Copies of this chain bind each other. A is one copy, B any other.
Amino acid sequence: MEYASFLRQHIEQIVTLSDDEFELVLSYFKPKEVAKKEYLIKAGQKVTSEFLVIEGLLKTFLFDEKGKEHIIQFAMENWWISDYPAYAQQNSGEMCVQALENCIVLELSLKDKIQLCETLPKMYRFYGQKSFGGYVSLQKRVLSMMKNSSKEKYELLLNQYPQLFQRASKTMIAHYLGVSRETLSRLHKRYFLYLE
Contact = CB atoms under 8 A, between A and B. Distances in A.
A139 interface: yes
Interface residues on A, range: 20 to 34
Nearest to A136: B88
Interface in A123-138: 124-125, 127-128, 131-136, 138
Interface in A94-136: 117, 121-122, 124-125, 127-128, 131-136
Contacts of A136: 84-85, 88
A132 B72 contact: no
B138 A138 contact: yes
A64 interface: yes
Interface of A: 62, 64, 68, 70, 72-73, 84-85, 88, 117, 121-122, 124-125, 127-128, 131-136, 138-143, 145-147, 178
Interface pairs A-B: 4 shortest CB-CB = A128-B128, A131-B131, A138-B138, A124-B124
